Chains A and B, each alone.
Chain A
Amino acid sequence: MSLADVHISHEPGALVARLVGEVDMSNAEELGATVIGATPNQARGVVLDLTQVDYLDSAGIYVIHGMRASLQARGQLLVLVIPPDSPVYDTLRLSGAERPGEVVEELDAGLAALEASASEDA
């Protein structure tokens, strides 16, 4: 049984990937590859919704950094949805490292952020 599921939906110009469950070294790379593999070239970027992630450790952070780099290479953006009281928020706080992408608190804000980047370009 996988520790986490990834639910993917295609919004106009964006791919929304919602992770549910726990992310550690047993599944982080696979989850990252699934999201990157599902992202169409014409999308502005990816909104990675981590609201329903119960656990995420350094292996998860590492993979998110990798996702950001992959998307960047394709001229695409990574926006993370992380509410302030969530387990993922705690991990980022403990790691003390730089944030692996733009962070918003809600999904709508994530979509708006991608929209904004599109209009900046226009």
Chain B
Amino acid sequence: MGEPSATRTQTPRLGPGQVALEPADPIAQAPEQVRTSYRFSDPALSELPLDQLLDELLNRTQEALGVDTVAILLLDTDAQQLVARAAKGIEEEVERGVRVPIGRGFAGRIAAERVAIFIADVDHADIRNPILREKGIRSLLGVPLIVEGHLVGVMHVGSLSPRVFGPNDLAVLQLAAARTAPAIERASLAARLEHEHNVSVTLQRSLLPKRLGDFVGVSLASRYLPASEEVGGDWYDVIELPRGRVGLVIGDVVGHGVPAASLMGRLRTALHAYAIESYGPGRTLELVDRFVHSLNEPAMATAAYAVFDPYSSTVQYAAAGHLPPVVISADGARVVDVTPAPPLGAFPYGRCPEHEFPVDSGEIVFLYTDGLVERRGTPLSDGIEALAEAVRGASSPEEACLAAVADLVPVEGLRDDVAIVALQNSPVPSELHLRLPAEPRTLAQVRRILRRWLVERGGEEADVAEVTIAVSEACANAIEHAYSPAAASFELDAWGDNGDITVVVRDAGQWRAPRGENRGRGLSIIAAAMDDLQVERLPTGTEVVMRRRLPRP
């Protein structure tokens, strides 16, 4: 021993001044090296996170070999470069993010040839990394980091004084390398998985609605819970439709990870786009099914689309391979008996039948994905029954979501992701006291809530239409008055008993005489539609008081 041997069947391609080394026979190791080997097989090392482990291994290597510098470079597969990851004595390598091309220089050659390389004199060797020279390193020894035949990086040690690294030194360094390589491999695998998990969680989150929107006459709640292992393709959506109707969507793309989240985003967009064109639930799902087939990629999803009409208190519903909805009432919960069409993407040109069911005042329609009710070894119907039991009697959509998650999500985490969206047909209060933004788009919302309120107060169809137009005209006046920032909102109060209703619209703006034909026409509409009209010009603003008998005699 002592002199580097070169007993290889194939001579590695080395640069000038580089010598390939073979390790010493481990059995011939001196007893003192047993201690050295223990330094690297210490079980306590296993408990350290990667950064601390590398730090500890660098320290122990430095100590065992009595060297001035130790460095670990990792393979960047895409770039085919080595990147400095951890270092002692030459911390600049890491700080400056040194990159060495595979096959070039000292470390690059070790990686390319997968051999240990000894450089006795740095000055006369092929060294690419200027830091090694800057630091005044005279001699170097490096080994490849290999896991299951794959190169993961290079580890090297250096001496500031000329030194001949022998086979025993090499054996120690290889011991350190053998301990380092699998830890790096495990950590980078974990980092890769973590990265993919983060990407898909971010993607999934970005594809779900940011907020549910404000809808008159309904309240809403939703949940998305990712699985503990991997994100999936579950989604929900809430869609504003003409004439006060609200669309609720729930869906589940088959698969996991980024591909499922990405397909989910496309399906959610497609469904939303068809829905706002006022296609009914059945037709909408048929069109989305065609969209899925047109993708020409293996894609399958289940989905349900429900359209709630606040005036008839009914839901139009269609499902493609999706689990049945649950309707929650004050005294219970029922699973709605609906037959779904096959899943989206299953059979071309499928028909998707529509169902109608009532969701009475105060009731909640609850849509969910199978992750909520599916448990290994338990029939699906049991899971759905357990859900109905958990949510029975919930008084709001939020309460229903809370109850379902509390009772059905196992403490150890979800195996599949879960999406929930729930809508309540909110009971209309007997009096309205609303503060509303002074924007034109408010008018449609006012009409929606007022129509429902008038129906509850016993208004006939014609009464409802006339009072609605009168109040909407008064609100339009208030919005036009809001030409100062202080008047950014206005108030609407409505009450009534014994068939007499009073509606007051109050704004903080200065009254101005109706300008032109149009506003004058608005006032004559109010006067014609109501039994009594008073316009009060107060220092604080304008108040329009309207009275009317319901039904009109």
B276 within 8 A of A: yes
User: A52-82 vs B: 1/0 string, CB under 8 Å?
Assistant: 0011011101100100000000000000000
Given A1-B240, A95-B528, the answer on whether A90 and B466 have CB atoms closer than 8 Å is yes
Check A26–B443 contact: CB distance below 8 A.
yes
**CB neighbours of B479 from chain A (8 A):** 25
Chain A interface, DSSP helix/strand/loop, else mixed: mixed
**CB neighbours of B518 from chain A (8 A):** 58-59, 61-62
Q: Return B551 CB to nearest CB of chain A, in Å.
A: 15
* A24 to B443 CA separation, bound complex (whole angstroms): 8
**CB neighbours of B85 from chain A (8 A):** none
Given A87-B465, A94-B466, the answer on whether A25 and B521 have CB atoms closer than 8 Å is no
Check A1–B476 contact: CB distance below 8 A.
no
* A21 to B518 CA separation, bound complex (whole angstroms): 21
Given A25-B443, A26-B440, the answer on whether A91 and B525 have CB atoms closer than 8 Å is yes
* A26 to B441 CA separation, bound complex (whole angstroms): 6
* A4 to B443 CA separation, bound complex (whole angstroms): 13
Q: Which of B469, B519, B529 has the most chain A CB atoms inside 10 A of its CB?
A: B469
**CB neighbours of B522 from chain A (8 A):** 57-59
B473 within 8 A of A: yes
Q: Return B376 CB to nearest CB of chain A, in Å.
A: 43
Check B444–A95 contact: CB distance below 8 A.
no
B472 within 8 A of A: yes
B381 within 8 A of A: no
Check A58–B276 contact: CB distance below 8 A.
no
Check A65–B469 contact: CB distance below 8 A.
no
Q: Return A30 CB to nearest CB of chain B, in Å.
A: 11
Q: Which of B469, B476, B519, B524 contacts A55 (CB 8 A)?
A: B469
The residue of chain B having its C-beta at the shortest distance from the C-beta of A56 within the complex is B469
Check A96–B528 contact: CB distance below 8 A.
yes
**CB neighbours of A57 from chain B (8 A):** 469, 472-473, 476, 522, 525
B243 within 8 A of A: yes
* A20 to B243 CA separation, bound complex (whole angstroms): 10
Q: Which of A3, A58, A87, A97 contacts B444 (CB 8 A)?
A: A3
The residue of chain B having its C-beta at the shortest distance from the C-beta of A65 within the complex is B517
Check A54–B525 contact: CB distance below 8 A.
no
Check B242–A21 contact: CB distance below 8 A.
yes
Q: Return B308 CB to nearest CB of chain A, in Å.
A: 15
Given A57-B522, A58-B518, A97-B524, the answer on whether A22 and B444 have CB atoms closer than 8 Å is yes
B452 within 8 A of A: no
**CB neighbours of B240 from chain A (8 A):** 1
**CB neighbours of B462 from chain A (8 A):** 90
Q: Return B445 CB to nearest CB of chain A, in Å.
A: 11
Q: Which of B241, B466, B476, B528 contacts A59 (CB 8 A)?
A: B476
Q: Which of A3, A58, A87, A97 contacts B519 (CB 8 A)?
A: A58
**CB neighbours of B441 from chain A (8 A):** 26
B447 within 8 A of A: yes
User: A1-39 vs B: 1/0 string, CB under 8 Å?
Assistant: 101100000000000000011101110000000000000
Contact residues, B237-259 vs A (CB, 8 A): 240-243
Check A58–B473 contact: CB distance below 8 A.
yes
Q: Return A20 CB to nearest CB of chain B, in Å.
A: 8
**CB neighbours of B241 from chain A (8 A):** 1
* A87 to B468 CA separation, bound complex (whole angstroms): 11
**CB neighbours of B466 from chain A (8 A):** 90, 94
Q: Return A86 CB to nearest CB of chain B, in Å.
A: 10
* A55 to B241 CA separation, bound complex (whole angstroms): 15
Given A25-B476, A58-B473, the answer on whether A96 and B440 have CB atoms closer than 8 Å is no
The residue of chain A having its C-beta at the shortest distance from the C-beta of B470 within the complex is A94
**CB neighbours of A90 from chain B (8 A):** 462, 465-466, 469
* A51 to B393 CA separation, bound complex (whole angstroms): 43
The residue of chain A having its C-beta at the shortest distance from the C-beta of B439 within the complex is A26
Check B447–A95 contact: CB distance below 8 A.
no
**CB neighbours of A65 from chain B (8 A):** 517
**CB neighbours of B480 from chain A (8 A):** 25
* A76 to B468 CA separation, bound complex (whole angstroms): 34
Given A58-B519, A87-B465, the answer on whether A94 and B528 have CB atoms closer than 8 Å is yes
**CB neighbours of A95 from chain B (8 A):** 521, 524-525, 528
**CB neighbours of A58 from chain B (8 A):** 473, 476, 518-519, 521-522, 525
A and B contact pairs by CB, cutoff 8 A, 25 listed? A1-B241, A3-B444, A22-B242, A22-B243, A22-B447, A25-B440, A26-B440, A26-B444, A55-B447, A55-B468, A55-B472, A57-B476, A58-B521, A59-B476, A62-B517, A62-B518, A90-B465, A90-B466, A91-B525, A94-B524, A94-B525, A95-B528, A96-B524, A97-B517, A97-B524
What are the 3 closest A-B residue pairs judged by CB atoms, nearest first? A26-B440, A62-B518, A58-B522
Extra A-B contacts (7), CB below 8 Å, given A58-B521, A96-B524:
A1-B242, A24-B444, A26-B441, A55-B468, A59-B518, A95-B528, A97-B521
